[in-house]
Amino acid sequence: NSSICKRAPLQPWRRRKLSSRNSFESLESLSLHSAEARVLVINTGGTIGMTIHDNVLAPKANAFVQSLRKLPILHDETYAQQSCLYDYYGSENTLVLPVSKDRKRIVYTILEYNPLLDSSNMTTDDWGRIGKDIEKNYENYDGFVILHGTDTMAYTASALSFMCEHLGKPVILTGAQVPIYEMRNDGRGNLLGALMIAGQYVIPEVCLYFYNKLYRGNRVTKVDAGSFNAFSSPNLAPLATAEVDIAINWDTVWRANTTAKFQVSTELNRNVGLLRLFPGITAATVRAFLQPPMEGVVLESYGSGNAPDNRPDLLEELRKATDSGVIIINCTQCLRGTVSTSYATGKVLMDAGLITGGDMTPEAALSKLSYVLAKKDLDLEVKKKMMSQNLRGEMSADLAGAKLCLSDSRFIQVIAKTLSISCKEELEAIRDALSPPLACAAAKIGDIEALEALKEMGTNLCLGDYDGRTPLHIAACEGHLKLVQYLLSHGATVHAKDRYGDTPLSNAVSFRHKDVVKLLRKTGAHFSREELEEAGTELCSLAASGDLEGLEIWTLAGANLNAPGYDGQTAIQVVRSEHSNEFPWALRHPVQSNAFKLFLS
Ligand SMILES: NC(=O)C[C@H](N)C(=O)O
């Protein structure tokens, strides 16, 4: 109604908006500058919008928006009229929240699916539909709220987290245990919280909001059918809590560190399944379950990933399946904790070719399988590797790496803020104290991306930590060849010595990383005179124990087999007196081959 619009007290930006009302494009661009955020609510169904018919709850179509319109906490009709909301957005399904504490308006449009589903009826096709709708509307909204039944919400949240590649905006699933139409219900609070977070914070994740908490979507599981507090995220703290204030736990929020464009991969493989172990399960059951066309299975094992190791029949069935290309992920039946190989009963599953699921929920593992197996252009080995990698924060395996992937200097800023530091010099001192151990931690896990990020924030990758150990020392210890290469091409020095006088070369020798030794040598690394002198004794002891691999590594690093040990004997003499076998490996090394030829002759 344009007459009301003209009389309304409008902010300048809104007046501009109205004056260009006929041009859709200019309206869209102006809204970006406004204090309004836009959220798309995709209503797929669930208890939140159900009513009772014939004594049972079922979704009610075309009732949700009308009902919200009458709820002042979820819609401000006065503002909608004054600001010509319906004209402007051209949709009767667009509503607006009352103004927030920081004067922000969240305008939300509801896209209702037909039919609305009890989430027990959901299939992978429905996940695909949600994904496509997010993709289609991605640029027009600041965030997305998916209304969904609670029964399979954890599956959908997990699946969407994988399907949404390079996500940069919040996608928040929510729902209710009691319909929004009832006097006492949790639906209003859940919807309101989800809308407020989706509209105000750039959390680039698929999340689940329930009972005042925002969780990472692929970390949750439904744990209570009769409580408002229906979900748990057993292995990851909430991303946010909505108490008196909304507090975002930014350190936990996943950062994709990507410059690639958002896209949704709607291809999903349905030949996947969950198999829960129980005492006395027969091999025939397992065999039947693993039959083609099965391609991926989540085995829910006991405790920390255990299965009977006195059941060769059962293990044989698992082995046969993995040999024939079925990917089997080992997840625990426990609510909390991770799969490990601390027991013999856990190791047998590794030996049978299973991939550890770490602390993934079965829901996350299953939907990850479905997503990964659908990637037609990848071969089996790459798919297996993806399954053991942390793709969207669904597992803690390389959480250290995730935390280190600081694409900006926020970490340092947070510390500076905590310590009330404001001047540049102090800030730099903090950075210099913190960044070397961070770089070393990144080197330990082979995380080149984290090192890149640290470099971007001004870290000198040559610097050592409190013990003078540099990232190159650590990478050499761990045998991360690529990382050693990276460090060397980014200013790291092979001559760095830690407080114990060790160089990256001596570290690589100690931990026997042949390729790293070769690369360091090629770059000019060498033993010090003292090291060369001490090498004689070391070589003799290696020779005495017939440790050819050790002798080879030391030789590659530049040690001389003719150098005398503490008692004047050389390694060659020790070999001659204690081992008369042949040493063909030595002939491959020109420097020593003459000595060995002499020795052998
Ligand atoms: N609370 C709920 O939403 C349960 C319902 N059966 C559903 O999953 O759709």
Report the candidate in 310, 350, 351 with the shortest Cα–Cα distance to residue 330.
350
Give the single-character DSSP code of 99.
P
Which of 44, 148, 150 is the best mutation target for the ligand 1 pocket, counting ligand atoms within 8 Å of the beta carbon and taking the most?
Answer: 150
345 annotated as a binding-site residue = no
Beta strands in 125-211 (DSSP E): 143-147, 164-165, 171-174, 206-210
Q: At the top level of CATH, which class does the domain 530-600 belong to?
A: mainly alpha
Topology agreement, domain 402-522 and domain 530-600: yes
43 lines ligand 1 (CB under 6 A): no
Residue nearest to atom 3 of ligand 1 (CA): 149
Residues making up the chain, counted from first to last: 601
pLDDT in the model for residue 421: 66
pTM: 0.66
pLDDT in the model for residue 539: 93
- Ligand 1 atom with the shortest distance to the CA of 176: 1
- Ligand 1 atom with the shortest distance to the CA of 59: 9
- Ligand 1 atom with the shortest distance to the CA of 151: 8
DSSP reduced 3-state for 42: strand
361 annotated as a binding-site residue = no
Sheet hosting strand 296-301, strand order edge to edge: 272-276, 296-301, 327-332, 355-356
44, 150, 252, 459: which one is catalytic? 150
Name residue 221's beta-bridge partners.
232
Residue nearest to atom 7 of ligand 1 (CA): 149
Residue nearest to atom 1 of ligand 1 (CA): 177
pLDDT in the model for residue 497: 84
CATH 2.60.120.10 fits 272-397, yes or no: no
118 CA to centre of ligand 1 in angstroms: 6
CATH of 402-522, one of 1.10.1740.10, 1.25.40.20, 2.60.40.1180, 3.40.50.300: 1.25.40.20
CA distance 409 to 458: 9
Encode pLDDT of 336-381 as tens digits.
Answer: 999 998 899 999 999 999 999 999 999 999 999 999 999 999 999 9
120 lines ligand 1 (CB under 6 A): yes
Model ipTM? Answer: 0.98
Identify the sign of the CA torsion 84, 89, 91, 95. Answer: negative
pLDDT in the model for residue 378: 97
Contact 112, 65 (CB under 8 A): yes
pLDDT(12) > 50: no
Which of 52, 120, 231 is the best mutation target for the ligand 1 pocket, counting ligand atoms within 8 Å of the beta carbon and taking the most?
Answer: 120
pLDDT in the model for residue 1: 35
Where does the pLDDT of residue 227 fall: very low under 50, low under 70, confident under 90, or very high at 90 and above? very high
**Mean of pLDDT over the chain:** 86
Element (H, E) at 287: helix 283-289
409 lines ligand 1 (CB under 6 A): no
221 CA to centre of ligand 1 in angstroms: 14
- Ligand 1 atom with the shortest distance to the CA of 118: 9
Encode pLDDT of 377-408 as tens digits.
Answer: 999 999 999 999 999 999 996 433 334 333 34
212 CA to centre of ligand 1 in angstroms: 18
Report in angstroms the alpha-carbon separations of 27 from 20, 88, 90, 96, 545.
Answer: 7, 8, 12, 17, 80
Report in angstroms the alpha-carbon separations of 515 from 284, 506, 519, 525, 560.
Answer: 47, 13, 6, 13, 19
Q: Is 129 exposed, middle or buried (0-12, 13-18, 19+ CB in 10 A)?
A: middle
Q: What is the DSSP string of 327-365?
A: EEEEEESSSS------SHHHHHHHHTTPEE-TT--HHHH
Report the candidate in 233, 229, 204 with the shortest Cα–Cα distance to residue 359.
233
Beta strands in 366-411 (DSSP E): none
- Ligand 1 atom with the shortest distance to the CA of 117: 9
Kindly list the domain boundaries of the chain, sorted by start residue: 39-77+112-259, 272-397, 402-522, 530-600
CA distance 219 to 233: 5
Question: First and final CA of the chain: distance in angstroms?
Answer: 106
Encode pLDDT of 104-148 as tens digits.
Answer: 899 999 999 999 999 999 999 999 999 999 999 998 898 999 999
Lowest-pLDDT choice from 37-46, 323-332, 480-489: 480-489
pLDDT(313) > 90: yes
CA distance 366 to 92: 39
Identify the sign of the CA torsion 247, 250, 253, 258. Answer: positive
DSSP reduced 3-state for 108: strand
Report the candidate in 91, 88, 44, 36 with the shortest Cα–Cα distance to residue 64.
44
CA distance 257 to 454: 13
Question: 39-77+112-259: CATH homologous superfamily?
Answer: L-asparaginase, N-terminal domain (3.40.50.1170)
Q: What is the mean pLDDT of residues 439-449?
A: 92
CA distance 519 to 514: 9
Q: Which two tokens stand for residue 406?
A: 């600081």
Within a 13 Å sphere around the CA of 3, how many CA atoms are in the beta-carbon half?
0
pLDDT in the model for residue 416: 62
43 CA to centre of ligand 1 in angstroms: 13
537 is catalytic: no
